[in-house]
Amino acid sequence: MKELDEIFSVVAETIENSIGTPKEEIGLKQTIFDELAIDSIDMVDILFELESHYGIELKVSDIESRVREELGDTPYEVEGIITTEGLVMLRKHMTEIDQSLLTEGLTVHGLVKLFTVESLCKIVVYRLEVQ
Amino acid sequence: MKLALKGKVVILTGVTGGIGRQIALDFLLEGAIVIGLIRNENKMKQIRNWIIDQNISDGSLHSKIGDLLDYHGLQTVVREIVDEFHRVDILVNCAGFAHENPFAILDQDQIDSMIDVNFKSPLYLSHAVLRPMFRQKEGCIINISSVSAIKKGRGVAVYAAAKAAMDAFTRALSSEVGRKNIRVNCIRPGVINTTMSGPLLERAHDIVNASTALSRFGHPNEISKAVLFIASNNTASYMTGETFTIDGGMF
């Protein structure tokens, strides 16, 4: 398995190429949408570049795939709101996210806003493992 | 002014139709590589013969078998094209058809097929080419709509709706992908003389003469020339999100 540091280096360079922020100013803990101001189209661009680099297919929903797999038949979300069980799993698997924000009432859409650069690196790790 | 389309990789649907084959021929004349998405090779042979008959080499004309309504199949075809030709510069969504009957007597299959071919298929194919175009940081999508989208007319309710949807799709998609240097435009042809002949042509002549400022049909090359103009970054690099009506000044 590739080291997270190695993947981070590629992800940071990809972000730099897409939005112009120097990679030296990009950190693992930064949130993608708020702190780096990456919008949905830039995100598509970044995912496509990472796909090309690693020869894999990526989806933003990959980030929750591990959580959904581990929950099995237990619902991860109901009508877009993440269940209590889903939040427990997110706290376990998404330690990079500010845990104080993983609270009852969080929506699937709202979770995306909390994604960090490390979350993006983890998507790559996940796909490299399962493909 | 040179169009600088030499070596550009063009995916074209509807290549076996009157407008589509002319678009293919004009791209070939400019030195582009044209890949027609077709259902079977039989009609493609006719197009090759038609092109050769005009002393144009068909060496850069390729074809791929693909079902325009098979989303995953189209993704695979586009991947194959990228593997073989290394990029996709231009997509022209030209496939389309109409059952010209009053809406009240259309059956469900006719309604569905007109929405599918005229609208869903361009969505699927556009979706498939965006991945390589994002990676290239460059691309051009041209949708062939119809003047039916903006004019009143009998017997084309579903066709007109599907084409109007394509106009809207063009506008909205261009807003999303413009920053990535991908341009999306649309052409609305008027009445183009493609396959009509004999008495039908004579009857249509009278109607077209009375309803267009130029008092005549359009010729397929009057559409294809516009497609090439829009496709070229030398002539249309600042054009995106627009639909251009080419209808001889229809009243």
The pLDDT assigned to A2 comes to 65
The pLDDT assigned to A66 comes to 80
CB B237 within 8 A of CB B207: no
Under an 8 A CB cutoff, do B134 and A51 touch? no
| Å between A88 CA and nearest CA of chain B | 35
The pLDDT assigned to B71 comes to 97
Sequential DSSP letters for A35-104: TS---HHHHHHHHHHHHHHHT----TTHHHHHHHHHHTTS-SEETTEEPHHHHHHHHHH-TTS-GGG--T
Do A42 and A77 have their domain in common? no
A65 falls within a domain: no
The pLDDT assigned to B123 comes to 98
Q: In chain A, what residues touch B131 (CB-CB under 8 Å)?
A: 48, 51
Do A11 and A55 have their domain in common? yes
Domain count, chain A: 2
Do A82 and A55 have their domain in common? no
A49 falls within a domain: yes
pLDDT at B58 over 70: yes
Q: In chain A, what residues touch B134 (CB-CB under 8 Å)?
A: 44-45, 48-49
A37 falls within a domain: yes
Q: In chain B, what residues touch A51 (CB-CB under 8 Å)?
A: 131
The residue ranking higher by pLDDT, A64 or B179, is: B179
Under an 8 A CB cutoff, do B180 and A41 touch? yes
Domain of A42: which CATH number? 1.10.1200.10
Q: pTM (2 decimals)?
A: 0.89
Mean pLDDT on B69-73: 97
- Say whether residue B131 is in contact with chain A using an 8 A CB cutoff: yes
pLDDT at B76 over 80: yes
Contacts of B182 (CB under 8 A, 6+ apart): B130, B133, B134, B138, B139, B140, B141
A17 falls within a domain: yes
Mean pLDDT for chain B overall: 94
The pLDDT assigned to B244 comes to 98
Lowest mean pLDDT among A62-76, B98-112, B161-175: A62-76
Q: Is B71 a catalytic residue?
A: no
The pLDDT assigned to A131 comes to 74
ipTM at complex level: 0.76
pLDDT at B15 over 90: yes
Q: Please give the interface size between A and B, counted as residue pairs whose CB atoms are below 8 Å apart.
A: 14
Report which DSSP code applies to A116. B
Please report, for chain B, the start and end positions of each structural domain, with discontinuous segments joined by +: 9-246
The percent of residues in chain B predicted with pLDDT above 70, rounded, is 97
Do A102 and A121 have their domain in common? no
Do A10 and A54 have their domain in common? yes
A52 falls within a domain: yes
pLDDT at B179 over 70: yes
Listed residue (B25, B22, B26, B30) closest to B5, CA to CA: B30
Report which DSSP code applies to B117. I
pLDDT at B128 over 90: yes
pLDDT at B201 over 90: no
A122 falls within a domain: yes
State which residues form the domain around A120. Answer: 4-60+115-130
Active-site entry in B71, B124, B159, B238: B159
Do A56 and A120 have their domain in common? yes
The partner residues of B184 in beta bridges, in order of sequence, read B141
Do A123 and A97 have their domain in common? no
CATH (one of 1.10.1740.10, 3.60.15.10, 1.20.5.510, 3.40.50.720) for B9-246? 3.40.50.720
CA A105 to chain centre: 20
Do A31 and A46 have their domain in common? yes
pLDDT at B46 over 60: yes
Contacts of A5 (CB under 8 A, 6+ apart): none
Mean pLDDT on B79-95: 97
Under the phi-then-psi rule, with left for phi > 0, alpha for psi from -120 to 50, and beta for the rest, what region is B58? alpha
pLDDT at B196 over 70: no
Which structure tokens are listed for A14?
């990809």
The pLDDT assigned to A1 comes to 53
The pLDDT assigned to B197 comes to 55
The pLDDT confidence band at residue B190, using thresholds 50, 70 and 90, is very high
Do A82 and A121 have their domain in common? no
- Say whether residue B134 is in contact with chain A using an 8 A CB cutoff: yes
The pLDDT assigned to B95 comes to 95
The residue ranking higher by pLDDT, B44 or A131, is: B44
Per residue of chain A (131 residues), give pLDDT as tens: 568 889 999 999 999 999 999 999 999 999 999 999 999 899 999 999 999 999 998 987 787 788 888 888 899 999 999 999 999 999 998 899 989 999 999 999 899 889 999 999 999 998 898 87
